[in-house]
Amino acid sequence: MEKDKIFIPPIKIQGIKTKLVSVIKKNVILDIGTTWVEPFMGSGVVGFNIAPNKAIFSDTNPYTIEFYNKIKSGNINSYKVRAFLENEGKKLEEKDDEYYYEVRERFNREHNVLDFLFLNRSCFNGMIRFNRSGEFNVPYGHKPKRFSKAYITKITNQIKYIENKLKECDWSFICQSFEETIENCNGKEFIYCDPPYIGRNVDYYDSWNEENELKLNKLLLKTDAKFMLSTWDYNQYRKNEYIDKIWHNCHKINIEHFYHLGAKEKNRNAMVEALITNYDTSKTENQLVFINQQIRLNAFA
């Protein structure tokens, strides 16, 4: 991968940190022998771009974890994905929404991770959302020609990148709770947390509330490992009260981020994000360019 070029993962998730990776990367302290740990893998975009020699990616979404474990085992590769998406893409173009909902029903019945990839790339706004019965319920994105040759090549190249990294690096993908992941750390890790944003409407495999936020705070402050947490700080309407309430003993970096989630343009507003750490970020390499600097970013550009 070219220097400073951001790798986009094959599974896309709302709130993906693509546009924040460069800021996060310059504030991470990753010594030789340190294990990178993500208790909320999500898309994996941060860890995949940090590209540590050893990493543990965990999440409660079993389909994301299974997808990457199948790449790791060789059951899924870029060639198989290309053939699958070419075939499914033709059916989508022919049958439009009828076929999308056919695949959605099939996935909720059989849980094939290639169907999961198909749905993720053809559903509305790239969302991942499940109902209380654990069924994927995101509506169709109404793009019957979604899987063009160029788009399929883009996805297969993303999978090829992961294949190559798994040959070079010791990466594990584990389906488990954030509590178990953090409790298993022994102080020789760097923990990066990107939990669902408390106080905001989020689409995630599990819900998130004050109890979860407080539990995460307690676990991270108890660990001997260095940690970084991504969250929101404030926008023009309101402030994240939990930063002052429970994260006040930590260091903070602010980045202004254009939050591109609303269906209507008027609902897409700039938000000041926060990176919370238990170490002094002013001592990290090349930090001066970024600290206290507000960067307007257009997510999903």
pLDDT of residue 13: 87
Task: Specify whether 55 is located in the same domain as 192.
Answer: yes
pLDDT of residue 16: 75
Distance CA 212, CA 218 (A): 10
pLDDT of residue 78: 97
Which CATH number does the domain housing residue 190 bear? Answer: 3.40.50.150
pLDDT of residue 263: 47
Distance CA 185, CA 194 (A): 17
Look at residue 2 and tell me if it is in a domain: no
Task: Specify whether 182 is located in the same domain as 50.
Answer: yes
pLDDT of residue 18: 87
Q: Which domain holds residue 138?
A: 72-158
CB 159 within 8 A of CB 76: yes
pLDDT of residue 201: 52
Q: Beta-strand (E) ranges in 86-157?
A: none
pLDDT of residue 269: 64
Task: Specify whether 90 is located in the same domain as 41.
Answer: no
| pTM for the full predicted model | 0.87
Q: What is the dihedral of CA 105, 108, 110, 111, to 10 degrees?
A: 130
pLDDT of residue 95: 98
Q: What's the structural domain count of the chain?
A: 2
Could you list the pLDDT tens digit for every one of the 301 residues in the chain? 455 689 999 999 877 788 889 999 999 999 889 999 999 999 999 999 999 999 999 999 999 999 999 999 999 999 999 999 999 999 999 999 999 999 999 999 999 999 999 999 999 988 899 998 999 999 999 999 999 999 999 999 999 999 999 999 999 999 999 999 999 999 999 999 999 988 765 544 556 889 999 999 999 999 999 999 999 998 888 899 999 999 999 999 998 765 554 444 444 567 889 999 999 987 665 433 333 333 333 333 3
Task: Specify whether 101 is located in the same domain as 149.
Answer: yes
Look at residue 238 and tell me if it is in a domain: yes
Look at residue 197 and tell me if it is in a domain: yes
pLDDT one-digit tens code per residue, 247-280: 999 999 998 765 554 444 444 567 889 999 999 9
pLDDT of residue 198: 85
Which CATH number does the domain housing residue 154 bear? Answer: 1.10.1020.10
Task: Specify whether 104 is located in the same domain as 23.
Answer: no
Distance CA 201, CA 261 (A): 10
Q: What is the number of other CB atoms lying within 10 angstroms of the CB of residue 121?
A: 22
Task: Specify whether 24 is located in the same domain as 55.
Answer: yes
Task: Specify whether 55 is located in the same domain as 77.
Answer: no
Look at residue 77 and tell me if it is in a domain: yes
